[in-house]
Amino acid sequence: MASSGPHLSGNEHAPPVSRTAYVLDRLRREIAEGVVQPGESLRQAAVARRYGVSPTPVREAFRLLEAEGVLEYTAHRGATVKDMSPGETQDLYLLRSEVEGLATALAVDRMNDAAMERIDAAHRELRDAVAANDRSRLSVLNRSLHFAIYEAGSALVALQAASLWSFIPPAMTIWTDAKNARSLLADHQRILDAVRRRDPYDARRCMTEHILHAVALRKNTL
């Protein structure tokens, strides 16, 4: 569903953002959620129409994503979502482990009861989907849980995490393997136990170990 205006998804009380920031957030989410696939060509005019903005903020968002390494330009195809090499994937997860560990520690220090309820609800939904073997939803539900945690702490750090997630869309998920899903879900349980104890140090450690566990599992698919 198209958004009615430029705002960041997931926070009804967020202040208005620039149109470039709005387009950047939408593109990152669509890439991370698999709406836009690696190798798929992106046309400025088509994205502008879909988002209800002029081509100018789309062009600026493309430039920023190219600088981050998410998009690349070729002579015949224009802007496309970049495929990652195994080495780049390894580096990405190492960076994610640091950023997302920090995001988790900040969330523990800053979250309120309402944020904890959102985190618990996201965890239950993912756990139920794993139990039901609903593989089509696992990657998106996993992302929802992670960002329920990160957005409870720092919007700035959560935004950096989102930019890293945009490199690996759901089509590359490791959650479709039932053994992987159970193992990663157990990681989540340890993270949430530390979050509920309001222990930022252990929560950070558990999240960092979870991300490194995920890249170890991913190596089997590269």
Strand 41-42, strand 71-74: pairing: unpaired
CA distance 38 to 171: 9
Handedness of CA 151, 157, 161, 166 (dihedral sign): positive
Q: Which residue segments constitute the domains of the chain, with CATH numbers given?
A: 19-81 (1.10.10.10), 86-221 (1.20.120.530)
CA distance 177 to 58: 36
What is the pLDDT at residue 169?
Answer: 64
User: What global pTM score does this model have?
Assistant: 0.71
What is the pLDDT at residue 39?
Answer: 77
Low-confidence stretches of the chain (pLDDT < 70) are 1-17, 33-34, 75, 169-172, 220-222
Instruction: Render 159-200 in DSSP notation, one character per residue.
Output: HHHHHHHTTS-GGG-STTSHHHHHHHHHHHHHHHHHHHTT-H
What is the pLDDT at residue 14?
Answer: 40
